[in-house]
Amino acid sequence: GGSLFMVASMASTWLRSVMMGDEPVFHFLASASCPRLLTGALPHLQLCGCWSWNQGSISRRLLRVVADGNGFLPVSRRNVGENWSARNGFQTCQFALEEDVFAFTVTTAEHSAALIDGKAISQKIRHEIAEEVAKLEKATGKVPGLAVVLVGSRKDSETYVRSKKKACEEAGIASFGINLPEDSSEEEVLKYVQKFNNDPAVHGVLVQLPLPKHINEEKIMGAVSIDKDVDGFHPLNIGRLAMRGKMPLFVPCTPKGCIELLLRTGVEIKGKHAVVIGRSNVVGMPVALLLLRHQATVTVVHSYTPHPAEVTRRADIVIAAVGVAHLVRGDWIKPGAVVIDVGINAVEDESRKAGYRLVGDVCYREACMIASAITPVPGGVGPMTIAMLLSNTLDSAKRTFGFVDQVTTHQWMP
């Protein structure tokens, strides 16, 4: 076979090496360009090879990053009780600062993983949602509505809310919202949550996190009507997800997006061994429950798991969601495994205009030489989150208007 090479040079800078803990020091907003890809045989899967790059003298400082509408995930909740930085014996991936520098090689001698293009899949889903919204409006004269409650003036939260509003407009979904000052009382926040709960034009209520420290997050989230809990985090929805024979009204958006990526790229889940790295309430635990629903044998790896690399190497499907850059090395992956990288981490890089670059929880350059398919960062799981939020809002409206048989949760979740 032939080969295509694209090598981008960059200046290497010595950076102070510090591993940050769970609490973000500060947040970045960014839009990173997607790599050029060789089109593969499967829909939304594109072939890519990796170029071995000499890193030189580079150390790194890891920082948390939030996402905007271009496909980055918001840092809103922490993995309580997790402390991967305290673990010993993990080697730093040498490609920390060159992860998006690719050379594309397709040969019989060198393995090349298929790239799962989350951006393309999410665009297709959003187009499907827009068509469904138009049909719903034609049948009922009404459209779905999504309301967002924002407290405070965090730039990352404001950007994410704007991206949701834009996505709603593109899909034909009505957008509602209230921006409350930072010092708003818990009672005032609850008042607006109840207002949207009672508004028949609103089919989804979302409270943008994080909330100011003086507000009880659990109390506010629990006040959202379960019928409008499009974020999928109401205790009753999570409880139903965990119980066999029960069906949640909504599934959390990012975990739902992970499963949707697997299903839409033809990855067999039934009977496979899946390892979920991370056990947060936001991604790890819900996605493990969803994999069980799809008849996978599921192992959850966390910061207290002995020999995590050895455990992960047994998996046919790996879903990494811990927020630790390049935790998962190539030797953690079984040959032919499918890898879903949920992590979004910013690594300082003074050669970049923004001063950093985004990488996942998986060392992509190593993993893509072993896995059969893998999601990139950015452009993998991130774009799916808002697409799933729109999907949940549409499902809520369908229930309200009597089209229960068309709700997607019932169609794809066993």
Taking CA 146 as the corner, what is the angle to CA 143 and CA 149, rounded to the nearest 5 degrees? 155
Instruction: Give every CB contact of residue 349 below 8 A, 6+ residues apart in sequence.
Output: 13, 15, 97, 355, 356, 357
Q: How many CA atoms lie within 13 A of 325 on its CB side?
A: 29
Choosing from 46, 100, 164, 256, the catalytic residue is 164
> Is 208 part of the annotated catalytic residue set?
yes
Backbone phi and psi for residue 179, each to the nearest 5 degrees, phi listed first: -105, 110
Choosing from 46, 100, 208, 349, the catalytic residue is 208
Tokens of 139: 């049948």
Amino acid at the residue 214: H
> Is 231 part of the annotated catalytic residue set?
yes
Choosing from 229, 231, 361, 395, the catalytic residue is 231
Residue with tokens 């975990």: 255
Instruction: Give every CB contact of residue 336 below 8 A, 6+ residues apart in sequence.
Output: 316, 371, 372
DSSP 33: P
Tokens of 280: 């947060």
> Is 46 part of the annotated catalytic residue set?
no
The residue among 97, 22, 150, 123 whose CA lies nearest residue 363 is 97
Which residues are known to be catalytic? 164, 208, 231
